[in-house]
């Protein structure tokens, strides 16, 4: 796209309002870096990112509950997670949903305008086809390219000025054993077996949760180190000193992938499911070798092949 026809030009003010969930926040952060590479002045309204603003040079991070109306008044364009939709009609606000817009939301009306030009497809879902095999990172890049006209061949900056890496970082494994949705969680007995196997092979295994889970996790994983963090900076600082993240389908895997770590995602879903971590090529999905329905529930946890994780990490040098 020529400079004269480009939608996003240097100096344009763009605000992003991500969904509060960690995985969704990493996606909008990817889009922020794409816009930054095009020369836009980018603001991100996010409670969680406020604690890591020092790792995000060039981005204006605004903490607290986002004020979409105020952001629309002070920016040329706002790209906002549908979670924060306001009833006030705003011609420069584009709404994004993960896979589905709310019933009754018309993505064609009213159109989103930028400097008087209509942005076709501005209101959209990130994932347009769950069976296409693309990750959500690939889908957000497609939105950046096809809707905003951004050049996705340009490199993105990523997190900067992270803490110095400790000497034992290449031996450290972080396991995220929980999510807000119990149906997604692998069994605690399975995670205990996995931790024992990896520890016996020289890995330093630690479990990670939210502060409200700390006592519960300590009881479920006796003898193991359990970490919790009050803000995103604490978690980022910890993961920057890890080599591997093992998680359910959760934000921990996405953040680990964003930081360039090797990730294993335990899920009952197919291996190319859309929400797998996709910020680097070091992700593996570990799904059951079989599953079946029993009394209305899907039985899958006993059939997760943990040996695949153990074997994959056997090829990684542990100092």
Q: How far apart are CA 215 and CA 155, in angstroms?
A: 42
Segment 152-158 mean pLDDT: 93
Q: Could you give the 3-state DSSP secondary structure of residue 209?
A: strand
Segment 50-58 mean pLDDT: 97
Element spanning 22, H or E: helix 22-37
Euclidean distance between the first and the last CA atom of the chain, given in angstroms as a whole number: 48
Q: Which residue has the higher pLDDT, 180 or 173?
A: 173
Q: For residue 222, what are the contacts with CB-CB under 8 A and spacing of at least 6?
A: none
pLDDT over threshold 80, residue 20: yes
- Dump pLDDT digits (tens) for 297-318: 888 999 999 999 999 999 776 5
| The predicted structure's pLDDT at residue 2 | 43
Find, among 279, 255, 225, the residue nearest to 25 by Cα: 255
* Structure confidence at residue 22 as a pLDDT band (50, 70, 90): very high
Q: How far apart are CA 125 and CA 81, in angstroms?
A: 10
For domain 3-147, say whether CATH 3.30.1490 is its number.
no
| The predicted structure's pLDDT at residue 175 | 98
Structural domain spans, the chain: 3-147, 169-314
| The predicted structure's pLDDT at residue 318 | 54
C-alpha angle with apex 21: 125 to 272, nearest 5 degrees? 60
Cα pseudo-dihedral 240, 246, 252, 254, rounded to 10: 90
pLDDT over threshold 80, residue 101: yes
| The predicted structure's pLDDT at residue 69 | 97
pTM of the model: 0.93
| The predicted structure's pLDDT at residue 6 | 80
**How much of the chain exceeds pLDDT 70, in percent?**
97
CA dihedral (23, 30, 96, 135) positive or negative: negative
For the chain, the average pLDDT equals: 94
- Dump pLDDT digits (tens) for 205-231: 999 999 999 999 999 999 999 999 999
For domain 169-314, say whether CATH 3.40.50.2000 is its number.
yes
| The predicted structure's pLDDT at residue 208 | 98
Whether 3-147 and 169-314 share one fold: the answer is yes
| The predicted structure's pLDDT at residue 146 | 96
CA dihedral (57, 60, 62, 66) positive or negative: negative
Q: How far apart are CA 96 and CA 122, in angstroms?
A: 8
pLDDT over threshold 80, residue 319: no
């Amino acid at each position: 796209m020529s400079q004269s026809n480009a939608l996003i030009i240097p100096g344009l003010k763009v605000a992003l309002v991500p969904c509060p969930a960690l995985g969704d926040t990493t996606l909008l952060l990817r889009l922020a870096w794409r816009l930054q590479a095009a020369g836009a002045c980018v603001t991100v309204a996010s409670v969680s990112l406020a604690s890591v603003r020092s790792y995000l040079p060039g981005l204006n991070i605004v903490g607290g509950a986002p004020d979409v109306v105020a952001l629309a008044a002070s920016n040329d364009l706002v790209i906002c997670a549908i979670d924060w939709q306001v009833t006030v009609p705003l011609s420069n606000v584009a709404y994004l949903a993960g896979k589905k817009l709310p019933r009754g939301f018309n993505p064609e009306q009213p159109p989103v305008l930028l400097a008087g030009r209509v942005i076709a497809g501005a209101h959209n879902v990130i994932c347009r086809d769950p069976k296409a095999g693309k990750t959500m990172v690939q889908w957000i890049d497609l939105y950046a390219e096809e809707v905003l006209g951004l050049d996705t061949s340009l490199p993105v900056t990523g997190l900067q000025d992270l803490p110095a890496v400790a000497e034992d970082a290449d031996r450290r494994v972080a396991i995220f054993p929980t999510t807000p949705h119990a149906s997604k969680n692998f069994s605690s007995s399975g995670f205990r077996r996995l931790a024992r196997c990896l520890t016996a092979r020289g890995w330093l295994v630690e479990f990670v949760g939210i502060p409200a889970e700390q006592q519960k996790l300590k009881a479920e994983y006796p003898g193991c180190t359990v970490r919790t963090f009050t803000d995103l900076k604490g978690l980022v600082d910890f993961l920057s000193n890890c080599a591997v993240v093992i998680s359910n389908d959760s934000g921990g895997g996405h953040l680990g992938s964003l930081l360039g770590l090797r990730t294993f995602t335990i899920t009952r879903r197919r291996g190319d499911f859309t929400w797998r971590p996709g910020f680097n090529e070091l992700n593996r999905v570990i799904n059951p070798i079989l599953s079946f329905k029993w009394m209305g529930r899907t039985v899958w946890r006993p059939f997760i092949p943990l040996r695949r994780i153990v074997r994959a990490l056997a090829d990684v040098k542990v100092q």
